[in-house]
Amino acid sequence: MDTFYSLYPAARHLHFTLIATSVLFFIVRFVLHLRESPIMDKKIIKVAPHVIDTFLLLSGLLLCFMIQQYPFVDPWLTEKIGAVVAYIILGAIALKAKRNKLFKTFACLGALGWLVYAAKLAHFKQAVFVG
């Protein structure tokens, strides 16, 4: 079992790398979307976010088991899940809503704001709204 926990730094590094990749890919896709680039129609651009985010979710679950803290048990983690859900919803609005560019830009900024809040929760492990 010690070997499992000794893998924590690697799992954490993988999780951080996947977060950075996911966010960078979201920002690039948002800019391409605003520019109405034909690159957005490529299959890799449509599939890659789902693959990246699936591995991101799995690495997050692995970290939960490693630190033995779980959503709906530990308030900070419950709140972090809520912040990630808000990020996903606003990100989808930014990329898919039939609205003007200003509205989509505010949705993108809101999504990134929730992501920063999720990072704060992960770092300090102090819930503000839950618990």
Tokens of 95: 């990329």
pTM: 0.89
Within 13 Å and on the Cβ side, how many CA atoms surround 109? 6
Domain range list for the chain: 1-68, 70-131
pLDDT at 129: 81
Q: Compute the residue count for the chain.
A: 131
Contact 118, 84 (CB under 8 A): yes
Give the C-alpha separation, 114 to 131, whole Å.
Answer: 19
pLDDT in tens, 7-18: 999 999 999 999
Contact 83, 129 (CB under 8 A): no
